[in-house]
Amino acid sequence: MHFLSPQLEKYIEESSENEPELLEELSRETHLKVLQPRMITGHFQGRVLSMLSKIINPTNILEIGTYTGYSALCLAEGLKKEGELHTIDINEELIDLQRKYFEKSGFGAQIIQHTGDALQIIPTLDINFDLIFIDAEKREYPLYFHAVMNKTKPGSIILSDNVLWSGKVVEPVDEKDKATMALLEYNRTLKEDPRVATVLLPIRDGLTLSRVL
């Protein structure tokens, strides 16, 4: 979903850091070979994730929703030398493609892939994460939030993607539209939960930045 004119989007991209070559290649291969390539993080949002991760300089990152690994590689750019990124996806068909690019990137040894339902896997990770990126099943965002809060510490940052859901969050909503209903609940929770401070950034399809107090 694009909220800005194509002209402005192009200008914003051109005025931001270039997309690394490896990520261009991953994006091309995803569009050629994988279903639903519009789910991939693109050039601009990828550079935002990379920049945020470099500012935070995390030791431990958790990603929920790996897809072909684009956002994982952007987040890995900010990892401390001894740091690790744990990424979870339910689709086992994507593992080999993810691994191919993780290895090519030089972050291969620091990225741990988990395959399965995020809600089953998160409780098994005995780590306090500095940075968490939530980008899997929209209907489960409220449950992801409660699951990951147990894996944070004061100062941890939670990034949540697609929170504007193509603008559906401000349109009349059908109660059967479970994704939009869940995102409305999720955005309200992030605003109201006293354990986090939140700003919703209008980056691409909406990217919320929450800081654990």
The rounded distance, in Å, linking the Cα atoms of 165 and 185 is 13
122 binds, among Ca ion, ligand SAH, none (CB under 5 to 8 A by kind): none
Query: How many helices (H) does the chain have, and how many strands (E)?
Result: 8, 7
Q: Which residues bind ligand SAH (CB under 6 A)?
A: 39-41, 65, 67, 70-71, 88-91, 117-118, 135-137, 140
| Residue 131: its H or E element | strand 131-134
13-18 LR contacts (CB < 8 Å, sep 24+): 13/43, 13/44, 16/43, 16/44, 16/47, 17/47, 17/50, 17/51
- Compute the least distance from the CB of residue 172 to ligand SAH, in Å: 26
40 binds, among ligand SAH, Ca ion, none (CB under 5 to 8 A by kind): ligand SAH
- Compute the least distance from the CB of residue 36 to ligand SAH, in Å: 8
The single residue among 19, 84, 135, 140 that binds Ca ion, judged by CB under 5 A, is 135
The single residue among 141, 161, 183, 212 that binds Ca ion, judged by CB under 5 A, is 161
Q: Are strands 207-212 and 157-161 parallel, antiparallel or unpaired?
A: antiparallel
Choose the binding region for Ca ion from 30-38, 98-106, 128-136, 172-180 (rule: CB under 5 A).
Answer: 128-136
The first and second tokens of residue 28, run together, are 């091309």
90 binds, among Ca ion, ligand SAH, none (CB under 5 to 8 A by kind): ligand SAH
- Compute the least distance from the CB of residue 125 to Ca ion, in Å: 21
DSSP 8-state class, residue 19: P
- Compute the least distance from the CB of residue 55 to ligand SAH, in Å: 19
The first and second tokens of residue 211, run together, are 């800081």
Counting contacts by CB under 5 A, is residue 84 touching Ca ion?
A: no
What's the start-to-end Cα distance of the chain, in Å? 31
Binding mask 12-31 for Ca ion (x = CB under 5 A): --------------------
The residue assigned the tokens 């790996």 is 66
**Residue number with CB closer to ligand SAH (39 or 149):** 39
**Residue number with CB closer to ligand SAH (95 or 191):** 95
Quick check: helix, strand or coil at residue 81?
A: coil
| Residue 98: its H or E element | helix 95-105
Q: Which residues sit at the interface with Ca ion, rule CB under 5 A? A: 135, 161-162
